[in-house]
């Protein structure tokens, strides 16, 4: 009988793509995808530990699968990814949930095949391997089973050396490693041959890509020059490394989307310094002015945190003010969450009511801005990559503008096509329109 896998993915795009690698490995082990967790013979938790809320939710969800073991005693449960990589966590996971069979760290995912075979043959009922190699070799030959529609994720680098004082990522993902530019280019060429229409380059800080003498601008330019009709996106950028050259390449290459994700985190210089972000509010605003001047229709998105230790009302007012000044098309907003082992976790923490009040105020402000900016699209005709059929409406499709806005529209077209859409109305963040050729 066919063996079935089910993958629960948490966290960022890096993890979403890693789950495609997990699926690739499991398919090579003879598994195929289960429609539900309940019918699976192997359940994988690809975990995140960026905030406490993420971790608590995952712990709860792992506990929930114990019930399936009763009906299916040979069910294999695997926990991989950032949460397992934290110091002491493999023991913590095994202690809380003895039924977990496999625990792997972030750098040794390719061992999943061996782990599964081991557990299946009952050689070892559990397989725990979380090495602390800070600079593991990049493994190029992992099979990938893509599930991202018209878009394909492509790693250009791994790890992070920035050590922002609140962030766990450098501890669980190790030091920065960049992929060979030839391997990246070859992968992208074959993805385009397979029919993918959008390539999203992934890295914790894509601007610090470095392979031999090649920098991020070089790779961007090289990819943009590959023949064919397709789009290039990338994430995330770091304001301390983002530069004029990148802006110029985006402007001069029509297939690099006018869409930049530039996490600001705070609008207060005092907080930015405590966060170890290594740029000032003025420097950030200068980058925004340069983007606006050179690429007027660029969609700029960001990440912002409220409630970092010692954040005063004045610091928070600076954040609100920056948000108003920039006019982000969208912002991912988070309540600061202390992460064990990071510098900020040792500082005096703010009461949770303060953090919550501030996040609500920030979210309300950003929603208003997003809604207002949506109105600017009405009456315009935008090029949209058709990503999918609308989940509910007949003869409706959805896709994204070059600037990254979601558009729902009526008309007849095919998924993967680039079409013109006339925007007729908007609902806060999403746009609505009609096929226009």
Q: Binding residues for ligand F3S, per CB under 6 A? A: 11-12, 14-15, 48-50, 82, 168-169, 172-173
State yes or no: residue 170 binds ligand SF4 (CB under 6 A).
yes
User: Rounded to whole angstroms, how far apart are CA atoms 423 and 407?
Assistant: 8
User: Rounded to whole angstroms, how far apart are CA atoms 252 and 250?
Assistant: 6
What tokens does 384 get?
């949209």
Beta carbon nearer to ligand SAH, 359 or 423: 359
Region 230-269 residues binding ligand SF4, contact defined as CB under 6 A: 238
Q: 120: burial class by Cβ within 10 Å (0-12, 13-18, 19+)?
A: middle
DSSP structure class, residue 265 = B
Do the beta carbons of residue 255 and residue 303 sit within 8 Å?
A: no
User: Rounded to whole angstroms, how far apart are CA atoms 397 and 409?
Assistant: 5
Q: Which of 32, 38, 117, 163 binds ligand SF4 (CB under 6 A)?
A: 163
User: Rounded to whole angstroms, how far apart are CA atoms 120 and 25?
Assistant: 15
Beta carbon nearer to ligand F3S, 204 or 370: 204
User: Rounded to whole angstroms, how far apart are CA atoms 61 and 125?
Assistant: 21
Beta carbon nearer to ligand SF4, 163 or 332: 163
219 contact partners, CB below 8 Å, separation of at least 6: 156, 181, 184, 201, 209, 211
User: Rounded to whole angstroms, how far apart are CA atoms 108 and 76?
Assistant: 18
Q: Is 57 helix (H, G, I), strand (E, B) or coil?
A: helix
State yes or no: residue 332 binds ligand SF4 (CB under 6 A).
no
Cα–Cα distance list, 349 to 249, 278, 308, 346, 362 (Å): 42, 22, 8, 8, 19
Region 211-240 residues binding ligand SAH, contact defined as CB under 6 A: 236, 238
Region 319-338 residues binding ligand SAH, contact defined as CB under 6 A: 334, 336-337
- The one of ligand SF4, ligand SAH, ligand F3S, none whose footprint includes residue 163, by CB under 5 to 8 A per kind, is ligand SF4
140: phi then psi, degrees, rounded to nearest 5: -95, -20
Q: Which of 204, 301, 366, 408 binds ligand SF4 (CB under 6 A)?
A: 204
State yes or no: residue 160 binds ligand SF4 (CB under 6 A).
yes
State yes or no: residue 82 binds ligand SAH (CB under 6 A).
no
Least CB distance from residue 167 to ligand SAH, whole Å? 4
Region 13-52 residues binding ligand SAH, contact defined as CB under 6 A: 50-51
Q: Which of 169, 250, 274, 362 binds ligand SF4 (CB under 6 A)?
A: 169
- The one of ligand SF4, ligand F3S, ligand SAH, none whose footprint includes residue 80, by CB under 5 to 8 A per kind, is none
- The one of ligand SAH, ligand F3S, ligand SF4, none whose footprint includes residue 208, by CB under 5 to 8 A per kind, is none
161: phi then psi, degrees, rounded to nearest 5: -110, 10
Least CB distance from residue 92 to ligand SAH, whole Å? 19
Please give the size of the binding site for ligand SAH, defined by CB under 6 A: 17
| β pairing state of 157-158 and 430-435 | unpaired
**Residues near ligand SAH (CB under 6 A):** 50-51, 166-167, 169, 204-205, 236, 238, 263, 265, 303, 305, 334, 336-337, 339
């Amino acid at each position: 009988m066919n063996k079935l896998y089910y993958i629960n993915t948490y966290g960022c795009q890096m993890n979403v793509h890693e789950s495609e690698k997990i699926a690739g490995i499991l398919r090579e082990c003879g598994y195929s995808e289960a429609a539900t967790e309940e019918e699976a013979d192997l359940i994988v938790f690809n975990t995140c530990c960026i905030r406490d809320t993420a971790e608590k939710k995952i712990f709860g969800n792992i506990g929930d699968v114990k019930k399936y073991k009763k009906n299916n005693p040979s069910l294999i449960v695997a926990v991989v990814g950032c949460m397992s990589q934290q110091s002491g966590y493999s023991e913590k996971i095994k202690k809380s949930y003895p039924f977990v069979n496999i625990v792997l760290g972030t750098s040794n995912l390719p061992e999943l095949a061996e782990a599964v075979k081991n557990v299946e043959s009952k050689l070892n009922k559990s397989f725990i391997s979380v090495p602390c190699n800070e600079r593991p070799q990049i493994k190029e030959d992992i099979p990938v089973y893509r599930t991202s529609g018209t878009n394909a994720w492509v790693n250009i680098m791994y790890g992070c050396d920035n050590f922002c004082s609140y962030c766990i990522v450098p501890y669980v993902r190790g030091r920065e490693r960049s992929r060979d530019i030839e391997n990246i280019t070859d992968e992208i060429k074959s993805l385009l041959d397979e029919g993918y229409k959008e390539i999203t380059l992934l890295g914790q800080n894509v601007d610090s890509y470095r392979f031999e003498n090649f920098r991020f601008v070089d790779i961007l330019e090289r990819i943009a020059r590959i023949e064919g009709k397709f789009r290039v996106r990338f994430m995330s950028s770091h304001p301390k490394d983002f530069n004029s050259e990148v802006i110029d390449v985006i402007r001069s290459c029509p297939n690099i989307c006018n869409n930049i994700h530039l996490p600001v985190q705070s609008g207060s210089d005092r907080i930015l310094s405590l966060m170890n972000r290594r740029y000032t509010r003025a420097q950030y605003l200068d980058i925004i002015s340069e983007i606006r001047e050179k690429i007027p229709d660029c969609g700029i998105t960001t990440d912002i945190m409220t409630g970092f230790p010692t954040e005063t009302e004045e610091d928070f007012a600076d954040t609100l003010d920056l948000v108003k000044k920039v006019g982000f098309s969208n912002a991912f907003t988070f309540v600061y969450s202390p992460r064990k082992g990071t510098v900020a976790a040792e500082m005096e923490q703010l009461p949770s009511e303060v953090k919550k009040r501030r996040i609500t105020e920030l979210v309300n402000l950003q929603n208003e801005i997003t809604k207002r900016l949506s109105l600017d699209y009405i009456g315009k005709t935008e090029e949209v990559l058709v990503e999918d059929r609308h989940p509910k409406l007949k003869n409706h499709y959805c896709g994204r503008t070059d600037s990254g806005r979601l558009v729902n529209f009526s008309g007849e077209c095919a998924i993967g096509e680039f079409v013109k859409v006339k925007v007729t109305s908007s609902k806060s963040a999403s746009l609505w329109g009609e096929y226009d050729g």
